[in-house]
Amino acid sequence: MPANLTPQYREAEDRYREAKTTEEKIACLEDMLAIIPKHKGTDHLQGDIKARIAKLKRLEEIKPGGSARSAQYNVEHEGGGQVALIGPPNSGKSKLLSMISKAQPEIGDYPFTTHKPFPGMMPYEDIKFQIVDMPPITEEFVEPWMPAVARNADAVLFVVDMSDDSVLDQVDEVIRTMEKFRTRLWGWDRLAPPDETGLLVTKKTILVANKMDLPDSAGNLDVVNEFNGERFPVAQVSCVTGVGLEDMKAQVFRMLDVVRVYTKVPGKPADMNAPYVLTRGSTLHDLADMIHKDFAQKLKFARIWGHGKREGVMVGKEQVLDDKDIIELHA
């Protein structure tokens, strides 16, 4: 598609070429971005301008006496698990977050819309999971803090635009780029091959095939499945129609592999509204720790009600908890 750039844009571009200082260059690039016609034909150019702005800003930051410090983000975990949204530009990561949570990240029909992590809470049954929107990943440019935030998450939703005919290359590009940052994306429900380098952190992942409402998506999905079907389970969704999102949420729940338990005090009914959510394999001791930092010491024993258990049987701190157990705490 032709870019159809306006004379005003060309003038801003000339000013950029003549700019001497980094600050001037950034200002000119920002002008160019503001006036560039926004359509598919300029997607690439917009992405390129944004990447150049980001690089120059970083240069400013690392200069001795530079005004700002390099951005560092650390997204504190909340809820039953943290999932990072990873993917190429414009794949619909921000749109996805807006569909499954109350968060309202910026959504744009051009690449490099998102610049910093943006968390939202996704309800699933009576649990809330934290979903963190992230900037895009390309071979040319990755926000330097991004891989660390992704590694710190419990799992990844790898979001791609299935309607894009270059989606297979994009999948490969993201996998490769993340591996450069020592992070390996692999299907949560299958075994990853041994890592010969010994350097990689493997993140359990679901490949989210987004934009399935568009005509080319089904054909492209066949191709992606042929090459990556062994590596990732796929959730087919459309963030426009909402199709597939409920199935995707259920898969996120299975991927995070958590149990929820309800607590009660003796003589009172259990609080069935707000479960504690723990990773599978957690014990009564872990639950006590979660309730309060001194509570594990105070806890004497508990009674437990749950599937396949004797009603109200007494258990000790090493008891492993199952999903939907009810625990009566005796301190």
Ligand X SMILES: Nc1nc2c(ncn2[C@@H]2O[C@H](COP(=O)(O)OP(=O)(O)OP(=O)(O)O)[C@@H](O)[C@H]2O)c(=O)[nH]1
Q: Which is nearer to Mg ion, 113 or 251 (CB)?
A: 113
The distance of closest approach from Cβ of residue 313 to Mg ion in the complex, given in angstroms and rounded to an integer, is: 50
Q: Which is nearer to ligand X, 143 or 325 (CB)?
A: 143
Vertex 172: Cα angle to 47 and 188 (nearest 5): 115
Q: Which residue is at the shortest CB distance from ligand X?
A: 92
CB 168 within 8 Å of CB 212: no
Q: Which is nearer to Mg ion, 130 or 319 (CB)?
A: 130
Amino acid at 125: E
CB 80 within 8 Å of CB 128: yes
| CA–CA separation, 161 and 132 (whole Å) | 18
Nearest to 177 by CA among 227, 141, 203: 141
Distances (CA, A) of 29 to 17, 18, 25: 10, 12, 6
The distance of closest approach from Cβ of residue 258 to Mg ion in the complex, given in angstroms and rounded to an integer, is: 27
Nearest to 94 by CA among 120, 69, 72: 120
Q: Parallel, antiparallel, or unpaired for β 118-124 and 127-133?
A: antiparallel
The distance of closest approach from Cβ of residue 17 to Mg ion in the complex, given in angstroms and rounded to an integer, is: 29
Q: Residue 163, interface with Mg ion (CB under 5 A)?
A: no
The distance of closest approach from Cβ of residue 171 to ligand X in the complex, given in angstroms and rounded to an integer, is: 14
The distance of closest approach from Cβ of residue 124 to ligand X in the complex, given in angstroms and rounded to an integer, is: 20
Q: Residue 217, interface with Mg ion (CB under 5 A)?
A: no
Applying CB under 5 A, among 46, 113, 130, 205 the residue interacting with Mg ion is 113
- Interacting residue ranges for ligand X, rule: CB under 6 A: 87, 89-95, 107-109, 111-114, 135-136, 210-211, 213-214, 238-240
**Which residues of this protein are in contact with Mg ion, per CB under 5 A?**
93-94, 113-114
